[in-house]
Amino acid sequence: MNHQFYEDWILSDQKLNMAEKKLLSEHLDSCEQCQNLKTGWVKVESALQSAKYVTPAPGFVTRFQTFQQTQTAFAHRKQAIQSLIVTGVSMITILVAFTIWFFLSYSPANIIVNLVAIATGVIRTATLFKTDLVLFLRSSSASFPFLFIVNIVGWAAIFLILWLLTIWRFTQHGVKNNEN
Ligand SMILES: [Zn+2]
């Protein structure tokens, strides 16, 4: 028996005429295989029909986008904080190194050279800091103002203290040199 012919009718969307319906009906009565196909196909069709009406809950897309944005913002903020820490440590190391080097120098020529070196170091670290600040500002949202303020005030304080300390020590050395 050729089932293919009936299977095509069962699975196709085309409307059957009366004669075709009769033929199919007769075949289904005598063929369990095609009956099973018919029953299965009806279930699949009804499942597909109901699936059309299963739409995401309202605001799903917005929520997903917000989630993605939060994830991205968090990654950026983490990166910015890491970058700030690295820059801060580098800045302090450079400043301390230059300060120590500067304190160990007594000749006026050396002081001038070292002052230039300190200025260069400060400018370099300031530039690095500015880059990090821009990055941090971009990644900071209104939900993190406290962290942001703490960072800015913290770095500003460290910078100011080290700078004032350097100037103060330079003044002390300058007075000593004049007395000698
Ligand atoms: Zn059949």
pLDDT of the residue at 147 = 64
Q: How far is the CA of 116 from the centre of ligand 1 (A)?
A: 96
Give the span between the Cα atoms of 143 and 160, in whole angstroms: 28
State in Å: Cα 44 to ligand 1 middle. Answer: 19
In the reported structure, the alpha carbon of residue 38 is separated from the centroid of ligand 1 by a whole-number distance in angstroms of 10
Residue pair 114/102 in contact (Cβ under 8 Å)? The answer is yes
User: Rounded distance, CA 65 to CA 167, Å?
Assistant: 51
Q: What is the mean pLDDT of each run of 10 residues along the chain (180 residues)?
A: 83 86 92 90 80 66 76 77 78 78 66 74 77 67 60 78 76 53
Residue 17 Ramachandran class (φ > 0 left, ψ -120 to 50 alpha, else beta): beta
pTM value is 0.31
Which pLDDT score, from 0 to 100, does residue 110 have?
67
Between the CA of 26 and the centroid of ligand 1 the distance, in Å, is: 10
Predicted pLDDT at 19: 92
In this prediction, residue 56 carries a pLDDT of 63
In the reported structure, the alpha carbon of residue 31 is separated from the centroid of ligand 1 by a whole-number distance in angstroms of 5
Q: How far is CA 76 from the centre of its chain?
A: 5
Give the pLDDT confidence score for residue 22 in this predicted structure: 93
Protein residues near ligand 1, an ion, with CB under 5 A: 3, 31, 33-34
Please give the Cα distance from 125 to 97 (Å, whole number). Answer: 13
The alpha carbon of 50 and the centre of ligand 1 are apart by a number of angstroms equal to: 28
Closest alpha carbon to 149 in 136, 164, 162: 136
Identify the pLDDT of residue 113: 72
Angle at 152 between CA 151 and CA 153, to 5 degrees: 95
Report CA(102)–ligand 1 centroid distance (Å): 99
pLDDT tens digit sequence for 144-161: 566 666 777 777 888 888
The reported pLDDT for the residue numbered 29 is 93
Please check whether residue 87 is in contact with residue 129, taking contact to mean a CB–CB distance below 8 angstroms. yes
125-134: pLDDT as tens digits: 777 777 776 7
